[in-house]
Structure formats: C-alpha cells, structure tokens
C-alpha cells in the first residue's frame, strides 16, 4: 500500500479552470489537500468556511478522507439561480412566439 496518494485540486474560474496536483500522506483530509496545494495563497478570495467542495462532483465535507487519484473541486457561488434563468428564458420564448410579427 502506498504511503502517499496523488490528489487533484480544481477551482473553476469564469474563463478557465485552475488545477493543482499534490502528493499527500494516506489518510489526509480534503482541507489538508486544499491547503497543501497552495491554491489559497493564489486565490485569497477562496473561503473554505463559505464555499462548498466536492470529490468527483459529489459534495464532501472538509474533513472527509481522500483516496489516491481523487479530484477535489472547489465550487464558486452561482451568480444566478439556474431555475430562474430557465423560467425567464421560457417566458422570453413565449413572448417572441406570440408577437413574432410580420411575414
């Protein structure tokens, strides 16, 4: 059994995705891997007490134990509620169909 594991830390930005790979001791936590990656120094706006994190797109707690080749994702807050955006798009589409105008 390896004494160290490899973990990816991912932080999606609007125009790109930042990714760090770290070697960690077996039994490390999500928080420990994020802190070891250096991402908190590069992006000081990341507040682990406020942002959600996940492992392979499943929400995880900061004290969750990681396994070799896990992918830790730091989620930014949504700018707009997806449900509201869909409702607005649907309403706009209906308005266009009703008043689509002249032929």
- 29 and 5 Cβ atoms separated by less than 8 Å: no
Mean pLDDT in runs of 10 for the chain (103 residues)? 89 90 97 97 93 96 97 84 74 63 53
pTM, two decimals, is 0.74
Q: How many domains would you assign to the chain?
A: 1
Residue 94, Cβ density class (10 Å: 0-12 exposed, 13-18 middle, ≥19 buried)? exposed
Task: Give the integer Cα–Cα distance in Å for 67 and 65.
Answer: 7
Range of the domain at 85: 4-98
- Asked if residue 103 is part of any domain, the answer here is no
Task: Give the integer Cα–Cα distance in Å for 23 and 7.
Answer: 6
Q: What CATH number did the domain enclosing 27 receive? A: 3.10.20.30
């Amino acid at each position: 059994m390896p004494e160290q594991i490899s973990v990816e830390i991912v932080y999606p930005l609007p125009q790109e995705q930042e990714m760090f790979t770290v070697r960690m001791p077996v039994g490390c936590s999500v928080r420990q891997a994020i802190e070891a990656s250096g991402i908190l120094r590069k992006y000081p706006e990341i507040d682990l007490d406020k942002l959600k994190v996940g492992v392979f797109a499943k929400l995880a707690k900061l004290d969750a134990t990681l396994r070799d080749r896990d992918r830790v994702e730091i989620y930014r807050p949504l700018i707009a509620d997806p449900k509201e955006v869909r409702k607005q798009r649907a309403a706009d589409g209906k308005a266009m169909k009703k008043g689509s105008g002249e032929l």
